[in-house]
Structure 1
């Protein structure tokens, strides 16, 4: 007897509930967050690109980080805004897989970018005389290209494995498409997906973790053995990077807990916020943390805004 399985052209996002009057409040808050993310990240990218004194490895890595924030936010917010106002929370299969690809490549690029930035800070603090020869502009662009290419190829393989699955259902208990939840809907064997997924998680964690731990162990050694001025300079340089790294790590941990464990005891709004934390708070805080902490970026922003203001007065 031949077994037949239903085929689906769309997924139902089961994380949404009709909120009545609160719908427009959630929509307003969400669109304001998106505008703030786009504006702040775009401003810093423009400032870095326009100011030749910021065309250094550290700021080029930051530019890559901010471009990734825009990329990840674009993979989330437009669909989220549509779904908040919609009465039927469905998404076509191709768009669902596209969102999975965007969200997961964003997360992988983010952690890899932060890892390379930690290595850059290690060379700048521990080997300052060799910095210009070891971290050239060409090598910086190679690092950035490898990060983006590696993340893109890695999750193209994940998508190709998902496309071969036969699904038993089409209800995803989330407000966004989630790879783990899609695989759980499969009727066919998921052994290859699970093996590749486990391998991918290990690589995603171990590969960035090695340079991060190595870099900060050496930086801490310099801090403890150096003078007070050296410690202050090192901590001042690394503080926004460490804050961004910890914030992103906690956000990813919240998302993993939400998608893999029973969180029914937690209020639904809180569950949604925790699952989207790394996609909202990280892009929102990064330009603020790095922009305020790094003197060159802060001064360049003031210079650009000052020039625009002056030009506006002259025009009047």
Structure 2
């Protein structure tokens, strides 16, 4: 700060700590993890796009979830890989803000898509006779449009409040940039940012999961009055979705509570592990659960691989 003005840092430092002691080993893990996530998610997306029999609401939502997994992985893995190779772990201010935007929209899209999927499950089980009438492809695309537009608009306001802040420090607590890590470096009062951040977190991590769990309460009530066969079918349809949302919600809540209230109370290694979980586990878990547990997708993936082998025979 000079003559009453603030100087915005050109670069920010990331807190890699003891991670650098085995950085080449971690580079291999990051490269393998990113490749695996891309392969699994793109395989499911390609299978759903290629086969018209899978152009139904359930599978369109799964494709959207896998696409978001590709987006989330690409927001995190490449940057981490590059910083692990560097001696000094610094990131430009513009690159940091870009990562902030990508990471937070990824989280918001994930919760929105899962909420839309919950509605799809609700209609499928609680109103099966009208399911094909209600959940038409135009309706699905409208729900997905809302799942992308609403979080984007909401976070854009949050993001604009962040980039207006002058920064007096340059040390990020994590191995990547997120909104709170940047806001805490500010030289001025951040009350407005805190209030609006609480509102965004309440909507994304509070209201959307609440809506999802409400739909499942309605589903379970219907299942209790139905036959054993209906209950088994409902469990088969709903269990992958519940696993995904509970895992993502747990990681997100831990992340918010940890770095907002007790950033120095837990060991560094545990803090790193929990902070990267939302970008490592869900993009891997979603295609595995849906691609391997849902018979229709699994069969189509096998057929796709067989066709590929046929087109490119070993003996020419």
TM-score by length of 1: 0.95
User: Offset of 1:18 from its aligned partner?
Assistant: 6.1
Partner of 1:112: 112
Q: Tell me the SS of whatever aligns to 1:11.
A: strand
Partner of 2:305: 305
Superposed CA deviations along residues 104-154 of structure 1, whole A, max 9, x for unmatched, are 000000011001101100100110111011111001011111111122222
Partner of 2:227: 227
Corresponding residue pairs, total: 315
User: Offset of 1:48 from its aligned partner?
Assistant: 0.3
Q: What is the alpha-carbon root mean square deviation over aligned residues?
A: 1.7
User: Offset of 1:210 from its aligned partner?
Assistant: 4.1
Listed as ranges, the gaps of 5+ residues in structure 2 are none
Contact 2:205 / 2:249 at 8 angstroms: preserved in 1?
Answer: no
Contact 2:11 / 2:170 at 8 angstroms: preserved in 1?
Answer: yes
Partner of 1:30: 30
Superposed CA deviations along residues 11-50 of structure 1, whole A, max 9, x for unmatched, are 1112344633x11111101110000000000000000000
Moved more, 259-268 or 189-198: 259-268
Following superposition, which runs of at least 4 residues in structure 1 exceed 6 angstroms of deviation? none
Q: Tell me the SS of whatever aligns to 1:172.
A: coil
Partner of 2:69: 69
Residues of 2 paired with 1:72 and 1:222: CA distance? Answer: 35
Partner of 2:239: 239
Contact 2:126 / 2:219 at 8 angstroms: preserved in 1?
Answer: yes
Moved more, 228-237 or 192-201: 192-201
Partner of 2:5: 4
Superposed CA deviations along residues 218-260 of structure 1, whole A, max 9, x for unmatched, are 1101221111111110001111101101110111123113311
Listed as ranges, the gaps of 5+ residues in structure 1 are none
Partner of 1:182: 182
Residues of 2 paired with 1:163 and 1:310: CA distance? Answer: 53
After superposition, the Cα gap between the structure-2 partners of 1:315 and 1:129, relative to the gap in structure 1 and judged at 3 Å, is: farther
Moved more, 38-47 or 266-275: 266-275
Matched, 1:148 2:127: no
Partner of 2:165: 165
Partner of 1:53: 53
Partner of 1:91: 91
User: Offset of 1:263 from its aligned partner?
Assistant: 4.5
